[in-house]
């Protein structure tokens, strides 16, 4: 059996992938019922409409 440390990088990759997919699904769940595009406009504040910087879209880090 392999040590647990061998699977740690893979677990981190899956966690990051899950965060990205979850973030996109959240966007879809928010915009589709409002009949908004999931592509354009880019990510923005839902209160004031100001666009978000690219680094604000990184799951967990942009929070």
DSSP 20-61: HHHHHHHHHHHHGGGT--SSSS-SB-TTT-PBPPGGGGSTTT
The string over 25-48, giving b where at least 16 C-beta atoms fall within 10 Å of a residue's C-beta and e elsewhere, is: eeeeeeeeeeeeeeeeeeeeeeee
Residue 62 falls inside a structural domain: no
Count the domains in the chain.
Answer: 1
pLDDT tens across the length of the chain (63 residues)? 555 567 888 999 999 999 999 999 999 999 999 999 999 988 888 899 899 998 888 887 776
* Residue 46 φ/ψ, nearest 5 degrees: -75, -15
The boundaries of the domain holding residue 27 are 7-57
Residue 23 falls inside a structural domain: yes
Residue 22 falls inside a structural domain: yes
Residue 50 falls inside a structural domain: yes
Residue 19 falls inside a structural domain: yes
Tell me what pLDDT residue 2 has: 57
Residue 2 falls inside a structural domain: no
Nearest of 22, 21, 41 to residue 31 by alpha carbon: 41
């Amino acid at each position: 059996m392999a040590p647990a440390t061998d699977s740690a990088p893979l677990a981190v990759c899956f966690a990051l992938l899950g965060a990205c997919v979850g973030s996109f699904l959240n966007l879809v769940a928010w915009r589709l019922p409002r009949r908004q595009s999931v592509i354009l406009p880019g990510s923005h504040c839902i209160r004031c409409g100001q666009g978000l910087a690219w680094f604000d879209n990184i799951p967990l880090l942009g929070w």
